[in-house]
């Protein structure tokens, strides 16, 4: 009986510690606001190395179906073609055209164009933009 009790307490502790990775919001309005990049996939480089001067950020306004932000160099803006409980599609994205050193902007825009789904974890603090259950980018709420 003691073994069952301790096993239950142990497993409960593990599940509680994993709670931060469970999606907390499915409401598209939870996307609203500004998010700063802290991870980017499909590259061997870390975000801090790709964007040494300015971290990319994205701002959502789901009421008006608008999105804007910066790539770490240039500003971008556009529309949300669709956004619902975990599905997202960007539309008509435009961008300023300043010269940018390195590959950071290219990798950011390529990943942004591949995004299919989103989720928010860590009690509303972390935004995951994904494709086929693979994190393309992660952002921290500002």
Q: Which domains does the chain have, with CATH numbers?
A: 24-141 (2.40.128.270)
Residue 58, token pair as written in the block = 């994205």
- Alpha-carbon span 52 to 73, nearest angstrom: 11
Q: What are phi and psi of 11, to 5 degrees?
A: -65, -35
User: What pLDDT is recorded for position 20?
Assistant: 46
Starting at the earlier edge strand, list the strands of the sheet with 33-40.
Answer: 88-95, 75-83, 66-70, 57-61, 33-40, 134-141, 126-131, 117-121
CB 92 within 8 A of CB 79: yes
User: What pLDDT is recorded for position 26?
Assistant: 76
* Spatial CA neighbour of 88 closest among 31, 25, 43, 34: 31
User: What pLDDT is recorded for position 24?
Assistant: 59
User: What pLDDT is recorded for position 90?
Assistant: 94
pTM of the shown model: 0.82
Per-residue pLDDT of the chain (142 residues; tens, 9 = 90+): 555 433 443 434 433 334 445 565 579 999 999 999 999 999 999 999 999 999 999 999 999 999 999 999 999 999 998 888 889 999 999 999 999 999 999 999 999 999 999 999 999 999 999 998 799 999 999 9
User: What pLDDT is recorded for position 46?
Assistant: 92
User: What pLDDT is recorded for position 23?
Assistant: 60
* Spatial CA neighbour of 102 closest among 37, 141, 56: 56
Q: CA dist 41 to 16, 37, 65, Å?
A: 27, 11, 25
């Amino acid at each position: 009986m003691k073994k069952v009790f301790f096993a239950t307490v142990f497993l409960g502790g593990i599940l509680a510690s994993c709670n931060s990775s469970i999606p907390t919001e499915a409401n598209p309005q939870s996307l609203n606001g500004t998010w700063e990049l802290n991870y980017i996939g499909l590259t061997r480089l870390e975000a801090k190395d790709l964007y040494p001067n300015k971290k990319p950020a994205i701002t959502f306004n789901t009421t008006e179906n608008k999105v804007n932000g910066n790539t770490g160099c240039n500003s971008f803006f556009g529309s949300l073609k669709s956004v619902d409980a975990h599905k997202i599609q960007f539309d008509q994205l435009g961008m300023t055209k300043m010269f940018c050193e390195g590959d950071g902007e290219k990798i950011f825009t390529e990943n942004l164009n591949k995004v299919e789904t989103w989720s928010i974890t860590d009690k509303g603090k972390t935004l995951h933009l994904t494709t086929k259950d693979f994190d393309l980018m992660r952002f921290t709420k500002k």
